[in-house]
Amino acid sequence: MLSFRGVCSAVIAVGLAAGLSGLPVGAASAAGTAPSPSQRDFADAATASGVPEPLLLALSYQVSRWDDHGTAPSASGGYGLMHLTDVSVADIDDARGLGEPPSAELIAGDESLHRLTAAARLVGAPADLVKADRALNITAGATLLADRARTLDSGALPDDLAGWYPAVAWYSGSTQASGANAFADDVYESLRSGITRTTNTGDLVILPPTAVPPIAKARLLETNAPAAECPAELNCRWIPAAYQWTNPANTNAYGNYDPADRPADGNKIRYIVIHDTEGPYAAAIASAQNPLTVVAAHYVIRSSDGEVTQMIRTKDIGWHAGNRNINSESIGIEHEGIAKEGATWYTEAMYRSSAALVKYLAARYRIPLDRTHIVGHDDVERSNPATLAGSHWDPGPFWDWDHYMSLLGAPVSERPGRVHPGDIVTISPDFATNKQSFPACSPKPCTAVSGQASNFVYLRTEPREDAPLISDPVLQPGGAPGTPNAEDWGNKAVTGRRYVVAETSREWIAIWYGGSEAWIFDPRHDRVLVSCDGRKIAPAEGLASIPVYGKAIPDPAEYPAGITPDIALPLQYRIPAGQQYVAGEPHRASDYYARFDGANVPLNHTLVRGTQVYLRISLAHRWGFVKLSDVTFVR
């Protein structure tokens, strides 16, 4: 998931794949059906702005898929069907895991992050109204595009569709020619092919195939791109993420990744992290090309056809997971989608492209194909206890881990049956029949979800169906019951994750989870499967409880002179004596010290090694680190 905070959008009513393969182009008009409200809004906006209606439709499709989420922004801060941006420094999350956002002045000075204000000014309307009113949003975005086209063409609107190419490329928000051209190319391909889709508000919108003149002369200048690191069978392209200094007075002010030489430099690539973009494919790419967003994953995959865009070389460290240890040892893959709408975004084409890419990367870097090493962003713990509550929960409850792991050739293979205290078990509800519902989420407005296939089981305080959901010390620090909201990740155990059984009671199984017992309803003994292997840890003898950490870094005294040491603060969880957890592989304490290359900083790009050894454990919804010296292994 990209780095902007607080995203929760309305649920799409009709599947993306179904929408793209719906009525043939022209079917509505041929049948005498009146244009839908959205279609009329585009026609009216085209007349008011002078932007050709087909071009306006194609551009809007690339930035919003014509879906209306009311006043909720995308992850990259865009509003409405025209994705008009309005971003402040408070909206920037910490995908790097260092806790240093760019300055408010830099954010305020970047016009690509404030398109809403500019568009509202052009149409003479309040910005809040442009956010909320669909027709006004389309007109404002079209007017902004036309204004840019006039600026680029001596005050006149282009004579043909090809002439609009530079303005369309600018609308992408990408700061580099590669990203701007790629966005414009996608818009013009939509024009050529045509699109028919039923939107989340039930409107049928039709873009007929449109002839486009040659546009080669209009393309922005760009350097030759290197080949993408992808398997030969995938449709891959290279568009670089930003690596740019944003404040010469601060060697830490740059985006959006760290150059490295993994694994030769000692940073072993252990994990692949699965994300969703929380917005359109084009917006995710544009965000990664802006150094002020402080976010970029190595790859982005498109929903409709599985196209792959690589943005960071795999040897380099992307800022994607919000945890410096995990960033330095992982490859991040973004998938176009919105977590609460996953069922409509996570297409078979996307699953298959992603699985092919992961298998290629896993073979190249010897990464085991299991749910300990192929993880979701929601498995990754924030390293700072102060920001842990803001941890992202993508790819969310509708990502089909069962199917995905099968595509990787690594299906869940544990055995079903009765379990006993002390057993290691794997969470494995049947995705198709495990129907879950969510209420409308808060504080952001979004539509409730009812009866969708899901990848998790709820966790309760007692072995009865009316018992409260467990509370999480991060999300409910006062001990209030958890909620069934999708974004309340503290009371949900996800497919593929492994835990130790604490006790059983008829149709219920209790697992050790985040320092407490959590009960799972398993009447058919098929939602929790018994594992045949694995290592268990417990607090060492004589310790009443042990702390859990978000990162495995050296002690302050182990940093060389010239590098300010980081400090590992315990998270809000403690493991009491008597509880047991599944342990992953050991991590020797390490910290990759990096500053901007152009800053000429001594000891830049140094991997600091410590003597402390940590174990990564399956703690709760997320993983955590414990010190090896604090634990004992249990048979």
Q: What is the pLDDT of residue 154?
A: 83
pLDDT of residue 90: 84
pLDDT at residue 441 in the model: 63
**Confidence check: pLDDT of 615 > 90:** yes
Quick one: pLDDT at residue 450? 85
Per-residue pLDDT, averaged over 218-235, amounts to 80
State if pTM tops 0.85. Answer: yes
436-453 as b/e, with b when 16 or more CB fall inside 10 Å?
A: bebeebeebebbebeebb
- Whether 22 shows a pLDDT value over 50: the answer reads no
Which alpha helices (DSSP H) does 266-400 contain, by range? 281-288, 324-328, 342-345, 348-365
Give the tokens for residue 147: 């204004």
| Average per-residue pLDDT for the chain | 90
SS3 at position 602: coil
pLDDT class of 69 with cuts at 50, 70, 90: confident
When pLDDT is cut at 50, 70 and 90, the band that residue 442 belongs to is low
| CA pair distance 255, 258, nearest whole angstrom | 8
**Phi and psi, residue 633, nearest 5°:** -85, 140
607-615 mean pLDDT: 97
Residue 238, C-beta contacts closer than 8 angstroms, at least 6 positions apart: 178, 225, 226, 227, 228, 309, 310, 311
For the chain, helix, strand, coil in percent to 5 are 30, 25, 50
Q: Give the CA radius of gyration of the chain.
A: 25
Quick one: pLDDT at residue 446? 60
Contacts of residue 203, Cβ cutoff 8 Å, sequence gap at least 6: 36, 37, 38, 39, 66
- Output the pLDDT for position 218: 59
pLDDT at residue 262 is higher than 60 = yes
Quick one: DSSP state of residue 180? H
212 compared with 352, residue with greater pLDDT:
352
Q: Read off the pLDDT of each residue in 408-419 and give the average, rounded to a whole number.
A: 85
Q: Is the pLDDT of residue 2 over 50?
A: no
The one-letter code for the residue type at 632 is T
Each residue's pLDDT tens digit, 25-54: 333 333 345 789 999 999 999 999 999 999
| Long-range Cβ contacts of 297-300 (<8 Å, 24+ apart) | 297/273, 297/332, 297/333, 297/334, 298/331, 298/332, 298/333, 299/331, 299/332, 299/333, 299/334, 299/357, 300/333, 300/334, 300/335, 300/336
Nearest-angstrom CA–CA distance, 447 and 442? 10
Is 70 exceeded by the pLDDT of residue 574?
yes
Taking only the tens place, the pLDDT of each residue in 143-189 is 999 999 999 988 999 999 999 999 999 999 998 889 999 999 999 99
**What is the longest distance spanned by two Cα atoms in the chain?**
81
pLDDT of residue 444: 55
* pLDDT at site 30: 36
pLDDT in tens, 341-366: 878 899 999 999 999 999 999 999 99
Q: 626 with 535: CB under 8 angstroms?
A: no
Range of weakest confidence among 398-412, 523-537, 604-618: 523-537
Residues 605, 593 contacting (CB under 8 angstroms): yes
Give 223's pLDDT tier (boundaries 50, 70, 90).
low
Residue 415, beta-bridge partner list: 530
CA distances from 117 to 57, 74, 114, 144, 561 (A): 22, 16, 6, 10, 47
Structure tokens at 592: 């990759």
Give the phi and the psi of residue 310 in degrees, each rounded to 5.
-90, 135
Rounded to an integer, the average pLDDT of 82-109 is: 86
The SS3 of residue 505 is strand
Closest by alpha carbon to 384, among 619, 575, 566, 514?
566
Q: Which of 414, 418, 486 is nearest to 448 (CA)?
A: 486
Q: Provide the 10 A C-beta neighbour count for residue 68.
A: 20
Distance CA 47, CA 53 (A): 8
Read off the tokens for 67.
């879906």
Cβ–Cβ < 8 Å for 300, 334 = yes
| CA pair distance 84, 2, nearest whole angstrom | 17
Q: In 383-423, where does DSSP find H-type helix?
A: 401-407
- Is the confidence at residue 602, as pLDDT, over 90? yes
pLDDT band at 13, cuts 50/70/90?
A: very low
Cβ-based neighbour number of residue 584 at 10 Å: 18
- Banded pLDDT at 92 (limits 50, 70, 90): confident
- Please report the pLDDT score of residue 388 as a whole number: 93
The closest alpha carbon to 435, from 449, 414, 454, belongs to 454
Cα–Cα distances (Å) from 582 to 270, 357, 410, 426, in that order, read 18, 28, 19, 10
